[in-house]
Amino acid sequence: MDMLQRFALSVVLACCSESAIAQQTTAPSAQHSEPWWNSPWGEDDRLGNVNNLTPEGVKRAAGLVKTGKVYALGIPTAPESAAYGTRQYTVERTPGPDADYTSNGSQRVTAFDEKISSSMGVGTQIDGFGHLGVDHHYYNGITGKEVATTRALQTADIPPIVTRGVLIDMTKQFGKPMLEVGDTYNRAEIEAAMKAQGVTIGKGDVVLFHTGWMAGKMLSDKDLYRSREPGIGEDGAIFLADLGVVAIGSDTVALEALPSPPGKTFIVHQTLLAKKGVHVLETIDTNQLAADGVKEFLFVLGIPRMVGTVQMVINPVAIS
């Protein structure tokens, strides 16, 4: 190969190398994504399965009211509440500003206000989608940065939930008055309980589980009640979420079985809140519903519209 040919070849190779390098450095890198980041209701969706609520569903649920008996499903939130972890509630009553409204003494009007310092996860509560995520991503792929710095996924944006409620009594399924730590119910157990108790579950429903854990342990062993519990497993959560339910709750502080399976810490919360768009209801007082044998009812919940919160204290109502 003569000198001229060698020179031409070196120019061609150099050009090819520069072109390859340019392509590698200028090509956009593939953005990481997960299939569950995409809501079936579109990129602007913040409601998840709450989208399954309809006026027709409200009318059907209202038709379940036969006796008119009203059940408060919330317990009082108090400093002594069996709250999960280190959550606390304190309240202070203070004289209202300018409390003497009638300076001439004709009516002697006085007043008090209050100051509360609390997590919104003390007592009966709803978990919003900003409460728990997977690797800094939350429902519909919203990032942890957005949750931290904006009001994204706040509970104040959850509309009133008025729908059919279903109670599944797992104490009957397990054949004992109270489930124990280590008792986990999944699809097989839920379907068996549904069949035995003659209930169905449909799109837009709220499903509550009675385990007997609140009646058995909340007052007698508060530390155990709020740290370990029987509950639903990952497979059961997926089963109910895929049926289109709006929320799932129970008479325990965390709904899911605790301690979590190895390597799957709070897997039910991740599944329902982040991946499936189903709200979690915790510390629901199911005792009277279970005692009365109520299986389906009108469920009514208006969430307090406190801006910015990712959980909220609630008092849902069941009407049979």
Same-domain status, 263 and 136: yes
Give 4 or 132, the one with higher predicted confidence.
132
Same-domain status, 24 and 130: no
Percentage, residues of the chain above pLDDT 90: 82
Same-domain status, 9 and 81: no
Give 23 or 315, the one with higher predicted confidence.
315
Whether the pLDDT of residue 219 is over 50: the answer is yes
pLDDT of residue 32: 65
In a domain, 115, yes or no: no
Q: Which amino acid is at 159?
A: P
- CATH number for 179: 3.50.30.50
- Dist. CA 301–CA 126, nearest whole Å: 10
- The stretch 100-124 carries a mean pLDDT of 80
- The stretch 276-305 carries a mean pLDDT of 98
Same-domain status, 194 and 262: yes
In a domain, 271, yes or no: yes
Same-domain status, 224 and 286: yes
- Dist. CA 11–CA 4, nearest whole Å: 11
Q: Which residues contact 206 (CB under 8 A, 6 or more apart)?
A: 161, 163, 164, 165, 166, 245, 246, 247, 248, 249, 281, 299, 301
In a domain, 6, yes or no: yes
Same-domain status, 11 and 75: no
Q: Which amino acid is at 164?
A: R
Torsion of CA 220, 76, 83, 113, to 10 degrees: -140
- The stretch 283-310 carries a mean pLDDT of 98
* 105-109, 132-136, 306-310: least confident range: 105-109
pLDDT of residue 96: 72
CB 231 within 8 A of CB 211: yes
Whether the pLDDT of residue 47 is over 90: the answer is yes
Give 280 or 101, the one with higher predicted confidence.
280
In a domain, 103, yes or no: no
* 21-35, 54-68, 236-250, 251-265: least confident range: 21-35
Provide the pairing of β-strand 125-127 with 89-95.
unpaired
- The stretch 301-313 carries a mean pLDDT of 97
Same-domain status, 150 and 20: no
Q: Which amino acid is at 218?
A: M
**Confidence band (pLDDT; 50, 70, 90) for 207?**
very high
Residues of the domain holding 7: 1-30
pLDDT of residue 158: 98
Neighbour tally for 221: CB within 10 Å: 12
Whether the pLDDT of residue 7 is over 50: the answer is no
In a domain, 191, yes or no: yes
Mean pLDDT estimate for the chain: 90
pLDDT of residue 9: 44
Same-domain status, 142 and 78: yes
In a domain, 110, yes or no: no
CB 283 within 8 A of CB 75: yes
**Confidence band (pLDDT; 50, 70, 90) for 102?**
low
CB 96 within 8 A of CB 111: yes
- Dist. CA 271–CA 231, nearest whole Å: 14
User: Partners of 94 in the beta sheet?
Assistant: 113
- Please name which of 117, 118, 101, 119 lies closest in space to residue 109, comparing C-alpha atoms: 101
- Dist. CA 142–CA 130, nearest whole Å: 9
Provide the pairing of β-strand 247-250 with 161-169.
unpaired
234-242 and 187-197 are packed helices; what angle lies between their axes, rounded to 10 degrees?
Answer: 60
Same-domain status, 176 and 313: yes
**Confidence band (pLDDT; 50, 70, 90) for 19?**
very low
Count of domains forming the chain: 2
- Dist. CA 164–CA 205, nearest whole Å: 5
pLDDT of residue 112: 86
Helix (H) or strand (E) holding 95: strand 89-95
In a domain, 108, yes or no: no
- Dist. CA 209–CA 198, nearest whole Å: 15
In a domain, 100, yes or no: no
Which range is most confident: 1-15, 27-41, 137-151?
Answer: 137-151
* 32-46, 220-234, 287-301: least confident range: 32-46
- The stretch 131-153 carries a mean pLDDT of 97
Helix (H) or strand (E) holding 91: strand 89-95
Same-domain status, 3 and 76: no
Same-domain status, 18 and 45: no
- Got the DSSP string for 206-265? EEEEE-SHHHHHTTT-HHHHTT-B-EE-HHHHHHHHHTT-SEEEESSSSSB-BSPPTT-T
pLDDT of residue 111: 81
Same-domain status, 23 and 146: no
Q: What does each C-alpha distance from 188 to 193, 230, 293 come to in angstroms?
A: 9, 16, 22
**Claim: this prediction has a pTM higher than 0.95:** no
